[in-house]
Amino acid sequence: MPRRTIARPAGNTVGLRAAGGETTTDTAWWRITAYPAPSLLETAADLFVRCTGGAAVEDPALIDGLEGDPAPDLVRPAGCAVRGYLPAGDQRRRRELLAGLSELTPRPRVVTSFCRSSDWDGAWKKYYHVHRVGRRLVVVPAWESYAPASGEVAARLDPGPAFGTGTHPSTELCLELLEDLDPAGGEVADVGTGSGILAIFAALLGAARVAAVDVDEVAVRWAAQNAALNAVGIEFHAGAFLGPLGDRTFDLVTANLTADLLELGAPFWRAGLRDGGRLIAGGIIAGRAAGTRDMLRRAGLAVLREKVRGEWTALVAGRS
């Protein structure tokens, strides 16, 4: 899903000679940034997701639409931008992305540049710190120390090449709804798990069994490392929607995706829920909420709750 986040994609490794003489590994990749019209922001982000596996969205509305100032040290973007990364040797997907962007009307300005992980790894961590969500959830970067206060539920996380740090409004909304619905004792499936953040918190909140799915095998491997970091047992599967889980049903399904992907997954949502089960549907940008509500109703689910933050909406739907 499009998220205002920073991520490190995997790429080609090259040897670098460190000052002391030892050889270290570095990663080479293309950084591609498009500057679409606001009306094309989600379309462009979906194109980046399809071609690169993720998208970093910079939109003034993501910050200015919030109450207070959650990130006073960040430079506000002057306009909408979508950024993605591809391994330097992946010319096919680079051409596919650039061709797709060129077909948008109006055609966005596109800037490409060549990067190495040594330029990136230390820089992005400066903007990712302990982050509190909801009443008692705390996201702790894996490289920081933190002692949870009484009653807090803390998850240690290294987003790595995956997506989901807990700082994007869409992820916050889903985490808050997860906390409200209380997965303790139930079975949970997380679709589009990214860094594994929703699945990990479901387990930490007491879910009896958690399964997580993502189309990106790199994200699946990284999410599994994050689960191990938190000493929680989660099943991880590579695949689309609930497909890898067969005909299993769940008490709760979380899907922090996009409006378009939620619609593509419509056949899975009701079938994947037990009687009384709930779906948390996130990643819905302004203007798409009404259509997503209608889609869920057509799929046989009742929309029970809507939570809005800035330009983003998350819905709770249920199977009665």
For the chain, the domains span 2-123, 131-318
- Above 80 in pLDDT, residue 99? yes
Answer CATH for 2-123 from 3.40.50.880, 3.30.70.420, 3.30.70.120, 3.40.50.2300: 3.30.70.120
Lowest mean pLDDT among 25-34, 211-220, 228-237: 25-34
Range with lowest mean pLDDT among 49-63, 145-159, 204-218, 259-273: 49-63
Give the pLDDT score at 12: 34
Parallel/antiparallel/unpaired status of strands 81-87 and 250-256: unpaired
Q: How is residue 100 written in tokens?
A: 């797709």
What string of DSSP letters covers 188-227? EEEES-TTSHHHHHHHHTT-SEEEEEES-HHHHHHHHHHH
* For residues 132-142, average pLDDT: 94
Residue 71 scores a pLDDT above 60: no
- Per-residue pLDDT averaged across 211-233, rounded? 92
pLDDT reading at 265 higher than 90: yes
Q: Is the predicted pLDDT of residue 271 greater than 90, yes or no?
A: yes
Quick one: what percent of the chain has pLDDT higher than 90? Answer: 56
Rounded to 10 deg, the angle between the 169-181 and 197-204 helix axes is 20
Dig out the tokens for 176 from the structure: 């808050």
What does the angle CA 173 – CA 175 – CA 179 come to, to the nearest 5 degrees?
A: 115
Does residue 14 surpass a pLDDT of 70? no
Residue 3: pLDDT band (50, 70, 90) is very low
Q: Which of 246, 191, 199 is nearest to 227 (CA)?
A: 199
d(CA 253, CA 249): 9
pLDDT at 31: 87
131-318 adopts what CATH topology?
Rossmann fold (3.40.50)
Label residue 124 by pLDDT band (50, 70, 90): low
Arithmetic mean of pLDDT over the chain: 83
For residue 75, the model assigns a pLDDT of: 42
